[in-house]
Amino acid sequence: MEGGKLLVFSAPSGSGKTTIVQHLLKQEDLNLEFSVSCTSREPRGDEEHGKNYYFITLKDFKQHIKNGDFLEWEEVYRDNFYGTLKTEVERIWSHGKNVIFDIDVVGGLRIKKKFPDKTLAVFVKPPSIDELKIRLKKRKTESEERINMRIAKASVELATAPQFDKIIENHDLKTALQDAHDLVAKFINSPSEDSSK
Ligand code: 5GP
């Protein structure tokens, strides 16, 4: 595989990474395309197949694992599998674009390890666990039990932040969006070797 650059955004859910990724996708100067992941979870709200995720059955997901189709995959929550197909990255690179990922910390670090020179791995840090709780409750798309599961995972995820190339603190969204744009612009315009420095 060869082609453009890989921009990984990872964070606990509710930290604002999806908002940041969606903002970056609108910036034409960055030439980004979103890596649509496969997931075995049900669609939420107005999510669309092929846009937010490829929603597939657990059986099909496991078949893709067996076939070696994934660049990385993870059982992010129990029985909820998420993964990036190799063909997804190839598809985006064939368009001459850079790939942007909204994936969990384990998957993000795995991509960084596979393509160390091509990847900028960014961790989006929420102001606090309490703030995270408030944001997840505001979404009103999930049960109390699922929210608690995400909060429990967040503490573990926060501990991985130092392994990322860059950390964006999301206290103030406007500042976070600007920081993200500046980091990505610098990275995609630099040669591959020491590009995350
Ligand atoms: P959600 O259910 O809120 O859409 O996503 C749950 C978590 O799974 C988020 O942290 C999201 O970024 C992550 N995720 C989404 N796609 C992938 C993927 O392809 N691989 C991995 N490892 N995580 C993913």
Cα(127)–Cα(84) distance, integer angstroms: 28
CA of 106 to the centre of ligand 1 (A): 10
The whole-model pTM stands at: 0.91
Token code pair at residue 113:
């390890």
> What is the tens place of the pLDDT at every residue in 102-141?
999 999 999 999 999 999 999 999 888 888 888 888 877 7
The answer on whether 15 is annotated among ligand-binding residues is yes
Banded model confidence at residue 42, pLDDT cuts 50, 70, 90? very high
CATH topology of domain 6-188: Rossmann fold (3.40.50)
> What is the tens place of the pLDDT at every residue in 49-70?
999 999 999 999 999 999 999 9
Would you list the domain boundaries of the chain?
A: 6-188
> What is the tens place of the pLDDT at every residue in 79-92?
899 999 999 999 99
- Please tell me if the CB atom of residue 109 comes closer than 6 angstroms to any atom of ligand 1: no
Q: For all residues of the chain together, what is the average pLDDT?
A: 92
* 160 touches 109 (CB < 8 A): yes
Specify the pLDDT at position 112: 97
Specify the pLDDT at position 195: 45
- Please tell me if the CB atom of residue 52 comes closer than 6 angstroms to any atom of ligand 1: no
